Homo-oligomer: A and B are copies of this chain.
Amino acid sequence: MTIHALFTSLDLIGTFAFAISGAVAAHQKKLDLFGIITLAYTTACGGGIIRDVCIGALPPAGLSDWRYLALSIVAAGLVIGAGQLVQKLSQPVLLFDAVGLGFFAVFGAHKALVYGHSMEAAIILGMISAVGGGALRDLLLNRTPVILQKEIYASAALVAAVLQTGGETLGWSLRWVPWVAIALCFAIRYLSLCFHWNLPRFANDKE
């Protein structure tokens, strides 16, 4: 398997895991068929679309590559037709989601650098690529985004984006930097799920 084929596979696996998470959330809120497909697509592609609009990569990849829409429709169909199965697979989906998280953070940061933007833009856009879709999903479902409230999620993406951006700027080899960054993000996310790690929250002075 060439590097490029591996990259493409990770991209599609991550997209599919994100689409499943959007479709499951829409299904729980009893949206109709169109709503479930839209949520799957928005969760999978929303972060990348925001990134591409900000770096001037038009049209956004999520709009011009039919595979993302196709994967979203497949994910929606799977959730509708085989909800029982998807529930059994919820553990694997969380793992795929963690792989997608790291991949999107690394790829988002890399794409921003390729388009000539600064390190700071690359780090922020890497993180937005990874968590933006989930935030849009929660906005459309009318709730405060989960990533703002609990769990080490965006922070794991941030670590991956920082490592990729730093490594690429320092001229480290692209042969290993992305893989280390993805693995590190996956490990942080996996351990935080196992041990219920959360970022600190603060007592509210007003209470």
A165 nearest CB across to chain B (Å): 12
Number of interface residues of A (CB under 8 A): 59
CB nearest neighbor in B for A60: B54
Q: Which residues of B contact A56 (CB under 8 A)?
A: 56, 58-59
| Number of copies of chain A assembled together | 3
On whether the beta carbons of A205 and B144 are closer than 8 Å, the reply is no
Contacts of A91 in B (CB 8 A): none
A116 to chain B, nearest CB (A): 9
What are 17 A-B contacts defined by CB distance under 8 Å? Answer: A29-B144, A30-B204, A31-B201, A32-B150, A33-B201, A33-B202, A34-B147, A35-B148, A38-B148, A38-B154, A53-B54, A54-B58, A59-B117, A69-B124, A139-B140, A140-B144, A140-B148
**Interface of A with B (CB < 8 Å)?**
26-36, 38-39, 49, 53-56, 58-60, 63-66, 69, 80, 83-84, 87, 112, 117-118, 120-121, 124-125, 135, 139-145, 147-150, 154-155, 198-202, 204-206
Nearest first, the 5 closest Cβ-Cβ pairs linking A and B are A35-B148, A83-B205, A32-B199, A56-B58, A63-B121
